[in-house]
Amino acid sequence: DTEVTQTPKHLVMGMTNKKSLKCEQHMGHRAMYWYKQKAKKPPELMFVYSYEKLSINESVPSRFSPECPNSSLLNLHLHALQPEDSALYLCASSQDAGDSAGNTIYFGEGSWLTVV
């Protein structure tokens, strides 16, 4: 069983709505990630937080806003999304990130997002 927990499992939202995806890990990991995955495609990196600071933003549109309240929690705030943003959003964590390689990434079960 994954130790990265994501809520909600499914979310349907309108293009004018504001919603949030939540992620929690209790493995003491210092890095957390958001990936986006479309059908039949690989996970695509969006953001990396290292020691609660945003370290990587893969040129993600501002309608996606990440937040890391503490080392165990990661949120993704959603506003004014488009139908093409519909996808599986995967949260993940690793022991460390940033200045060394060899970081195994553990994924949560994902949040299925549908924008109507």
Partner 1 sequence: QQPVQSPQAVILREGEDAVINCSSSKALYSVHWYRQKHGEAPVFLMILLKGGEQKGHEKISASFNEKKQQSSLYLTASQLSYSGTYFCGTEMTGTGGFKTIFGAGTRLFVKA
Structure tokens at 76: 């993704």
Strand bridging mode 111-115 / 10-13:
parallel
11 in Cβ contact with 112 (< 8 Å)? yes
Closest to partner 1 by CB, 16 vs 101, is 101
Q: How far is the CB of 61 from partner 1 (least distance, A)?
A: 18
Closest to partner 1 by CB, 17 vs 37, is 37
Q: How far is the CB of 18 from partner 1 (least distance, A)?
A: 25
Q: How far is the CB of 5 from partner 1 (least distance, A)?
A: 11
Residues near partner 1 (CB under 8 A): 2, 40-45, 48, 50, 55-57, 90, 97-110
Hey, how many other C-beta atoms are within 10 angstroms of the C-beta on 112?
14
Closest to partner 1 by CB, 110 vs 115, is 110
Amino acid letter, 40: K
Tell me the C-alpha distance between 43 and 5, whole Å. 17
